[in-house]
């Protein structure tokens, strides 16, 4: 299965953060190409939205996609809904969080499935 056929156009994490703020409710799963060892997510990291409507796929097709993704050099990051939640949580703590703080909060949530406290 060619998993990249499920991907939309890549955009930077910075742009996806802006989209989550300006256009809430997009509900895309985002994937990234595996990072080199020692490298971490950056605002410039390209993320690909999964644009195929998974509701149209059978369970076997979804399993094949998940398996293909697991054996590729791509990995899930988060859903845009989760990024919106991270942004909302951070804005409850800081009225105007910086882009770097947003990045730190997203990475924290991704790694720990929990919100960061500043």
Output the six-digit token pair for 70.
């697991």
CB 6 within 8 A of CB 51: yes
What is the C-alpha end-to-end distance of the chain, expressed in Å?
A: 43
pLDDT tens per residue, range 2-46: 788 889 999 999 999 999 999 999 889 999 988 878 888 999 999
- pTM for this prediction: 0.88
| Alpha carbons 81 and 88: distance in angstroms, whole number | 10
Which has the closest alpha carbon to 5: 65, 56, 59, 63? 65
How many angstroms separate the Cα of 52 from the Cα of each of 27, 49, 57, 79?
A: 12, 9, 9, 14
Tens of pLDDT, residue by residue over 34-45, are 887 888 899 999
């Amino acid at each position: 299965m060619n998993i990249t056929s499920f991907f939309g156009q890549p955009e930077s994490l910075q742009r996806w953060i802006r989209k989550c703020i300006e256009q809430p409710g997009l509900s895309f799963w985002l994937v990234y190409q595996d990072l080199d060892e020692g490298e971490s997510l950056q605002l410039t990291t390209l993320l690909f939205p999964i644009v195929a409507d998974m509701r149209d796929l059978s369970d076997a097709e979804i399993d094949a996609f998940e398996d293909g993704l697991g054996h590729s050099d791509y990995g899930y990051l988060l859903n845009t809904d989760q990024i919106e939640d991270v942004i909302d949580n951070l804005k409850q703590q800081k009225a105007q969080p910086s882009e770097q703080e947003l990045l730190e909060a997203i990475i924290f949530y991704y790694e720990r499935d929990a919100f960061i406290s500043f």
